[in-house]
């Protein structure tokens, strides 16, 4: 294997949650009376950030009370109201199984909250695949590298032994800021052209493709 420690983003990398994220953020904006209405593209652009950072980015000038109202509304819609499915991307479960069988230590570094990640790990029965997880409300939001530094310290790996896998500029920027190699996936939220500026060591169009590359097949 190329890297003994593989760190995955969640939304847009392992799980196709884009439609649910967009609809939930738009519903939260409507509940709060935010104008103009949030467009699909605007919400897509902030996928990967921690919620407070995402809200401040998408709602310029919003005050702290508004951020909290939007955050609570988004969480409610995402976890309790939305009926939109969030399927795994093709090949994810098989690929994670192969990486674990090869001896890789797997982790998640996500802009999701701890509550949100723990719930979806249970719902999708994926918890057993990951040795470590870190969420944005436990540390600093991407692209700050603290999340990755904490995972490296906890797992006792050198940065040279690890790679970050993600679909957004925030994922790859975080890895770049940490001095960590990065692997881009093209099927997520950000256009592939946006990812190439972060000099990924590999770019995958499918999950099985990235697994094969990591396992040197």
- Catalytic one of 11, 16, 144, 167: 11
Other Cβ atoms closer than 10 A to 110: 28
- Catalytic one of 9, 144, 167, 181: 9
Judge whether 119 and 27 are in contact, CB under 8 Å. Answer: no
Q: How much of the chain is in helix, strand and coil states, percent to nearest 5?
A: 50, 15, 35
Which residues make Cβ contacts (< 8 Å) with residue 211, sequence separation at least 6? 91, 95, 98, 99
CA-based nearest residue to 151, from 132, 178, 130 = 132
In the residue annotation, 9 being an active-site residue is answered as yes
- The CA-based diameter of the chain, rounded to the nearest angstrom, is 52
In the residue annotation, 63 being an active-site residue is answered as no
Dihedral over alpha carbons 56, 182, 1, 162 (to 10 degrees):
-60
Annotated active-site positions, please? 9, 11
């Amino acid at each position: 294997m190329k890297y003994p420690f593989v760190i995955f983003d969640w939304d847009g990398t392992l799980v196709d949650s884009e439609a649910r994220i967009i609809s939930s953020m738009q519903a939260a904006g409507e509940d709060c009376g935010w104008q103009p209405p949030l467009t699909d593209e605007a919400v897509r652009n902030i996928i990967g950030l921690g919620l407070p950072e995402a809200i401040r980015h998408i709602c310029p000038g919003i005050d702290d009370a508004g951020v909290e109202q939007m955050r609570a509304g988004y969480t409610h819609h995402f976890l309790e109201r939305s009926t939109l499915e969030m399927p795994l991307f093709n090949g994810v479960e098989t690929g994670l199984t192969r990486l674990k069988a090869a001896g890789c230590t797997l982790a998640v570094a996500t802009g999701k909250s701890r509550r949100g990640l723990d719930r979806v790990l249970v719902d999708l029965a994926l918890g057993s695949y990951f040795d470590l997880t870190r969420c944005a409300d436990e540390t600093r939001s991407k692209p700050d590298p603290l999340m990755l530094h904490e995972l490296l310290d906890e797992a006792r790996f050198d940065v040279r032994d690890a790679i970050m896998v993600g679909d957004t500029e925030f994922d790859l920027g975080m890895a770049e800021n940490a001095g960590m190699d990065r692997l881009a996936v093209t099927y997520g939220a950000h256009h592939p052209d946006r990812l190439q500026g972060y000099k990924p060591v590999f770019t995958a169009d499918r999950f099985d493709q990235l697994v094969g590359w990591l396992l040197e097949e």
